[in-house]
Each structure stands twice: as C-alpha cells, then as structure tokens.
A and B are shown apart, each in its own frame.
Chain A
C-alpha cells in the first residue's frame, strides 16, 4: 500500500476514525462499568461520537461555517448541524432523566453500583420466591376439602393404556 493511499485512507478519514474510537469507548464503558453514573457517561460518549459523525459528513472541502455573510462563500451543509442540535437536546434530556433515576436509585438502595443494587434485588427476589414456593405447596383446590365426607365417585380407572 503506497504512502499516499495510506495517508488518504487514514488522515483523510481521520474524523471517522475518531467517531469509531469514541463510539467503542462509550459502548465499552456502558457495558463494562458497574457504576451507574459511569454508564451514563459512556452513553454520553457514545452519543457524542454520533454528533461528530454527522458534522463530519456535512463538511464540504473549502467551506466555512453555515452563517450567511455578505459576498460569495461556500457554506458547509447546515442540515447536519441542525440535526445535531436536535440530537444534542435529546442527549441532554436523556442524561437528565438518567441522572434523576440515579439519584432516586441512590435514595432507595444506598448505592449506585449496579452490582450492589442487583444483589439487593436478588436477595429480595429470593425471599419472595421462597415464600411463593411455600404458598404453592400449601395450596389445595377447593373441592378437595368438600369431598372428604363422601367417597368420590371417580376412580383412577384409566391409569395405564
């Protein structure tokens, strides 16, 4: 591969490499970290990479910012910028909601580590499951009690065959 081609494919597409790197860092952070706030940060990184992606695709070689000035000028495509403004708002709302949830989780569980929260949940769930199992074992259909006094008409006649 010639130096020129390498340069073109790496430096020419530099923005997109950054997008991929940020995206993967963000994604990895979301998946691997237990701390809820860190997850949100990872999510934010993930979303930011997409912003950069959009802006990168809107750039036209030799263009300037898409703000009208007097005289001839080549403007970068303003549409992606608009899209990104919308997406940033969406990102901010998501972040706000996520952080609000983290605050509530902290109030309820006393921790913002997912491991601790899940452990508390599983403990509770195990208790509940055990209670449910005991209740199921004790349960009996209503007719069983009723027919105790007289012989049941049915018989297990058709057991084999």
Chain B
C-alpha cells in the first residue's frame, strides 16, 4: 500500500491541490477552507521532500499519467532541477498557509474567504504542474491554470485599482501564454511530438529550419512575459502592489520563479544549450535585457513611495539577476541562477510578509504611513531589516551566497562589466532598502496615528521562519549549492 502510494507521489502532488479547490467551494465557509489549504499545502510539502530525496538518491523519476506511456501519454518527469523548484513552491505555499489566516481575515470579506483559498489552491496546482510536467502542451495548460487563478486572486485586492491591474495582467498574460502556445505548435509541427524529452531527441535533425527558430523566439517571448523580464515587466508593479498581501507573498515568491524554471527547461532540455546559445545569439540578448532590468528596475524602486510597489520593482531587478545567471550558459552561471531562484523566493516572501503585516495594522503602506513603526512593531521591522540586508547581499544571509556565485560565474566568463553591473545594482538596492529602514526607524510616527500593536503571532512566526531559513542558507549554503550544481550539471551534461 505504501509502495503504491510512493509510486503515485508525482501525480498526488498535483492532484491534491486540484481536488482540494472545489472542496473549499463546497465548504462555503472561510475556516474549513483555510484548514483544507493548510493540510493540503503541508502534505504537498511533505511529498515534495520525499520526491527530492528520491530523485537525489535514485536519479530522475518518470511517471506516466493514466498509465499511458510517453511519448504518447503525458509524462511527469522529476529530475534534480524541478525537485528543487518544487520544494520552493510547496515550501512557500506551506508557510503562507500559516501567514494567511490573519491576513486574509483582515483583507478579504468573510463571505468570500473560501473562494480565496480555492483560488490559491488552484494557483498552487498550476505552479506544481508546470514544475513537474514533462510534456510541453501540459506545461501550457498548467501555466494557464496558474495564471487564471492569479488574475482572480489579484482582483480580490481592496482598492478598486486592483481590478484594472488584474485586467491588464490578464491581457498581457494571455498574450504571453498564447505566444507560448504558438511556439509549442511550431515545435510540434517540426517534430510531431509534445513530450519534452522526445522533442529534444528529434529536434537536432530539423533545427536549421526557420520554423524551429520562430518556435524558440515565440517561446522565449511568451515566457519572458510571464517572468516579467524587461521590457515585458509592465504588468508586475501594479499586480503586486494592489493584490491582497497573502497573494503578493505567494505570487512574488513563486510565480515568476516557476516561469523562469519553464524557460530554463525549454532552453536547456528541449532545445539544448548548444543550439539556443551557440547557434542563436540568445545569450547576448538575454544578458542585455537582464542588465537593463537590474539597473532600471533598481532605479525605479528608489523613487517609489509605496512599499509594496518598491518591492515589486525590486523583484523585477532580481529576476534580471536570475536571467543573467543562466544566460551565461555555463554550469556555474546556471547554478547561481538556481540558487538565487530559491533565495529570492525566500527573501521576497519574507519582505512581502512584513509589508502585509504593516498593512494589517496600519491599513496603508506608503513610506509615510510606516514611519516610526520600528519602535511599535519591532519584530516585523527587524524581519524587514534582515531580509533587506539579504537583498543587498550582506554576508551571513542567503542573498550573499547568490551574489557570490553570480559574481563567480560572471568573472569566470571574463565579463567584468557584468560584475560591475551586478555590484552597482546591489548598491542601488542599498539605497531603496535604506529608504524603508530610515522610514521605519528614523522617523516619528505620524501625529494622527494611534499606537499599533505588533502583528499577530501567526504572521510573525511565518515571517521569521523565512528569515531564519534565509540566514541558515547564508551560513550553511552547501546543501543548496550542491543541489543547484547537480541540477546544472544534469541540464548541461545530458541535455535531457
């Protein structure tokens, strides 16, 4: 029985949230829905850990959905890369479940709470599906599932601006998804199959055609829209700023990272690094765009007065780092990228959690509103301090490790100007984090602001869990770096 359960784990980890979503709708009440969410996310996290260990010990797992063998059926394929990303996604979801209770109770009307959790579960299902699928079209379907649910979740924000933000995200996201669909169509046209491994084996024979090149272009553009790579990032600041706090936490920490994973999967596994970066100048293009993202988005963040907007622009800059890593197409660059995917997920999750906690108490989140909160909400502010330092790259935090690996990869490649760009944007990050810290600690609370209490313990606990994890990964990064290096080697070495 246990054996059967273990062999079905890959399917379970996708199906569990999927089934739990309508269950939440059936409950029709907020508290049972939250409990369902809690149980399911922690179960998924447990499954993700088991899968990670299994893959680490025994090599990649292939699971045929419905028993139909690939390449005819849909295959779920877990290897070193996606088990790592799976851990991140389920981990963030699990921590958010603890955080969400108080946050959702304050921001979402009680009678709509169950719909919120149903939406979160669908989003989680979509993200997990993207992470573990081995079929290109299946990836598109899960991408749309996660996107649609996130449009709905973002629209649940308190201000009416959330509606237009969600609508704009919907338009842009659908165009992106459709571009991805066109790209997959081109690949199918030329290879006759949708299974990623199969496409990879058949592609070299037809790689020289314009169709395949167009397919690559469409896929890259489509996924770049989803991962908010400059200049296709326009939807992100509004979407993150006006969404409910729990949604910001969840989506900022996972959605764009999973889109990055999808791009890495297509570029390295399906097309192969030699083709994508060797034959075509994709590497140069991505490097230029990522540098533009790092510098321009950090600059934009400095001028923001709304903390959530500031963090959103910061995310765009950090995605620039991640894309820079794998655009180098080297093992160390890819490993740096993967380490930063995990670290940034944790850092941004913690930062948005503190923003959400401040919003909970203050009902507003501009720099003037949070003035003086360093004294009144010490735990929350301290969490922001540590996570902010991690973003800058202060040693003993996860962000430092990412920065170190990225610098190593870039200098190894001989691209000193890229190293300068990375360091300059770190210093820009120092400025915008400094602005928030000054507001928290160096200003008096506004005159009309009555004293506020610290955030509820559940929110504090969730935030500090992420912060402590971040410090742990900063002091003892070897497990993460090892996992990332293994994943990088498997992507570059075998090609499948």
Q: Chain A: residues with CB nearer than 8 A to chain B?
A: 27, 30, 36, 39, 43, 46-47, 50, 53-54, 57, 79-80, 83, 86-87, 90, 93-94, 97-98, 101-102, 104-105, 108-109, 114, 117-118, 121, 124, 128-129, 132, 135-136, 139-142, 145
Q: In the docked arrangement, what's the CA distance between A47 and B170, Å?
A: 13
Residues in chain A near residue B144, CB distance under 8 A? 90, 93-94
A105, B174: Cβ atoms under 8 Å? Answer: no
A108, B444: Cβ atoms under 8 Å? Answer: no
Residues in chain A near residue B178, CB distance under 8 A? 46-47, 50
B305, A97: Cβ atoms under 8 Å? Answer: no
Q: In the docked arrangement, what's the CA distance between A97 and B155, Å?
A: 10
A53, B444: Cβ atoms under 8 Å? Answer: no
B185, A57: Cβ atoms under 8 Å? Answer: yes
B188, A57: Cβ atoms under 8 Å? Answer: yes
**What DSSP secondary structure best describes chain A's contact surface?**
helix
Q: In the docked arrangement, what's the CA distance between A43 and B366, Å?
A: 35
Residues in chain A near residue B181, CB distance under 8 A? 50, 87
Interface residue count on the B side (C-beta < 8 Å): 35
Residues in chain A near residue B171, CB distance under 8 A? 30, 39, 43, 98
A101, B155: Cβ atoms under 8 Å? Answer: yes
User: Quick one: which of B141, B160, B182, B368 contacts A90, CB cutoff 8 A?
Assistant: B141
**Among residues 189 to 248 in chain B, which have CB atoms less than 8 Å away from a CB atom of chain A?**
189, 194
B167, A108: Cβ atoms under 8 Å? Answer: no
Residue among B164, B175, B194, B368 with most chain A CB within 10 A: B164
Query: What are 19 A-B interface contacts by the 8 Å CB criterion?
Result: A43-B175, A83-B194, A86-B141, A90-B148, A101-B166, A102-B167, A104-B155, A105-B164, A105-B167, A108-B160, A109-B160, A114-B164, A124-B161, A136-B367, A139-B371, A140-B443, A141-B443, A142-B443, A142-B444
Q: In the docked arrangement, what's the CA distance between A109 and B164, Å?
A: 10
Q: Does B404 contact A (CB under 8 A)?
A: no
Residues in chain B near residue A27, CB distance under 8 A? 175
Residues in chain B near residue A86, CB distance under 8 A? 137, 141
B137, A135: Cβ atoms under 8 Å? Answer: no
**Among residues 124 to 166 in chain B, which have CB atoms less than 8 Å away from a CB atom of chain A?**
137, 141, 144, 148, 151-152, 155, 160-161, 163-164, 166
